[in-house]
Amino acid sequence: MERLGTGIGWRPEIADAVERMPGIDWVEAVAENVCSGHLPDSLRRLRERGVTVVPHGVSLGLGGADRPDAGRLTALAERAEALGSPLVTEHIAFVRAGGPLTASPHLEAGHLLPVPRTRDALDVLCENVRIAQDALPVPLAVENIAALICWPGEEMTEGQFLYDLADRTGVRLLIDVANLHTNHVNRGEDPSKALAELPLEAIAYVHVAGGVERDGVWHDSHAHPVPRPVLDILTDLASRVSPPGVLLERDENFPEPAELENELGAIRRALEAGAVERLKTELRSAAGATAAQRTQPERVGAELSSGEADAGRRGRTRGGVGERLGAAALARREKARGARGEAPAGAGAARRGDETGAAGATRGAFGPPPRAGVDEARQRLGLAQAALLSALVAGTPVPEGFDRARVGVQARALAAKRADVVAKVAPELPVILGEEYRPAFLGYAQTHPMTDGYRRDALTFAEHLLSTGRPGDTRRRELREWWLERSGPKPRSRRPVHRLARATRRALSRS
């Protein structure tokens, strides 16, 4: 895997500061916010300086029951090529549900939701990842996400789920240590155990981010400083493997550049502390191996023929780190299979695939499950995800087995996320409505699930207000004019900055 170094998430709000920051080896940009034909000037300048740019997707929904949308995959591939990226990344999550597969209304979550760690979900995810791999011009890495809720009846730990995914598809992993911390607080999962179960050799890079405790749970906000427990998990990971890259994420509530640089410094120190521990472990291991060799009876060497001894020495010389990593990976795989009560690899005819060469290496030892089995798994997974998402965004009953209180927390978090994003894609709305915007949008979100993206959501929200006679003053005319500009066949202004300036002037004239 290419060494990336230390990086930061590129966002338009901090673009100038990122360009001036010392020691930035690479950046990551939200793929959906980048147009391949019109790259932001800041990203172009970074590329010209030799700074690597990685597109980070948020809307594929690889963990959903449907196959990945061909148009979204094409767009992601175009962004990777335009940026000259060595890889692209996405999430192990579902972001929409319903539709023809389940004969139910199509619903959008507007955010990342966890997939159940079950055999059905794993089979579907593996096929979706393979589809994406075939459509992308560069390698794909997928990220573990933070979760507020637990699926009932899960069959694997997070580490086992990620291990099997990488083993079966050859996909690389983007490990978010902040999400491991979130799942530790919210789900009681041990980050150290998850790291011990991961295929460390598959890690492409690592995310680090801050969060906040609210409603009795930890929210992975990307809007707060990185807490000490997250840095400790990073040190734990670095004590096991040297990650090819580490990146600081910040999406909102941006501090002064000096504070971001301080956080990057803390990340580097956490990595150094882990590297020291890793070196100590390697030295102890080497010392133990040397001691074992010295105590080995000399007669063992005499029993070997001269040719065998020479071959053995050549094998030890060539093996090096690669063989040690391979042996460690095999040991972790067998340990994980044993914990799940599975037969060791190669036992009898348990294998489901006979692929060899590149295909076998990419798809792993077990190969893809039968087509009929995946289609049936998609149906079952689709029904389960549609029922959960409907409870979260449409107010239908919470499916059996879920924690109702946690589902309520997740539902409020999704509505708040919608309000925040709509305010960004349609900044005139908060200006026109003032303090009334947020409560009005949250009330609207309770009965109006998102079905077609945030821009359509903004228009539907405005339509809802106008149809109910709100707002009841001069702002109603301004809101109607905004809606006509956005929804009419020939908008009167194609320059959003001018629309925002006009709305701001009107708001100030009322004060």
Rounded to 10 degrees, the C-alpha dihedral 57/58/61/62 comes to: 40
Angle between helices 158-169 and 306-339 (to 10 degrees): 130
Closest CA to 193 of 233, 230, 226, 244: 233
Angle at 321 between CA 317 and CA 322, to 5 degrees: 95
The distance from CA 505 to its chain's CA centroid, rounded to whole angstroms, is 40
Phi, psi (5° rounding) for residue 91? -120, 150
Side-chain-side CA neighbours of 439 within 13 Å: the count stands at 5
What is the rounded distance in angstroms from the CA atom of residue 393 to the CA atom of residue 389? 6
What is the rounded distance in angstroms from the CA atom of residue 57 to the CA atom of residue 37? 17
What is the rounded distance in angstroms from the CA atom of residue 414 to the CA atom of residue 457? 14
What is the rounded distance in angstroms from the CA atom of residue 474 to the CA atom of residue 509? 11
Q: Which residues of 146-179 are buried (b: 16+ CB within 10 A; e: fewer)?
A: bbbbbbeeeebbbbbbbbbbbbbbbbbbbbbbbb
Q: Which 3 state secondary structure label does DSSP give 209?
A: coil
Residue 332: per-residue pLDDT: 52
Structural contact between residues 156 and 114, judged by C-beta atoms closer than 8 angstroms: no
Residue 368: per-residue pLDDT: 60
Task: Output DSSP code: residue 206.
Answer: E
10-residue mean pLDDT series, the chain (511 residues): 93 96 97 92 96 97 97 97 97 97 94 97 98 98 95 96 97 98 94 96 97 87 95 98 98 95 98 97 86 65 47 39 44 51 40 32 47 89 97 96 95 93 93 94 92 91 92 89 79 48 53 51
DSSP string, 279-297: HHHHHHHHHHHHHHHHHS-
In single-letter form, the type of residue at position 83 comes to L
Read off the pLDDT of residues 324-369 as tens digits, 9 standing for 90 and up: 334 544 555 555 445 444 444 433 333 333 333 333 333 333 456 6
- Whole-model pTM? 0.80
What is the rounded distance in angstroms from the CA atom of residue 325 to the CA atom of residue 446? 51
What is the rounded distance in angstroms from the CA atom of residue 493 to the CA atom of residue 134? 41
What is the rounded distance in angstroms from the CA atom of residue 65 to the CA atom of residue 480? 39
What are the angstrom distances between the C-alpha of 153 and each of 10, 119, 266?
38, 11, 39
Structural contact between residues 171 and 133, judged by C-beta atoms closer than 8 angstroms: yes
Q: What is the largest CA-CA distance in the chain?
A: 99
What is the rounded distance in angstroms from the CA atom of residue 398 to the CA atom of residue 443? 20
Q: Which residues make Cβ contacts (< 8 Å) with residue 284, sequence separation at least 6?
A: none
Task: Output DSSP code: residue 8.
Answer: E
Read off the pLDDT of residues 27-60 as tens digits, 9 standing for 90 and up: 999 999 999 889 999 999 999 999 999 999 999 9
Residue 406 neighbours by CB distance under 10 Å: 19
DSSP string, 113-166: EPPP-SHHHHHHHHHHHHHHHHH-SS-EEEE----SS--TT--S-HHHHHHHHH
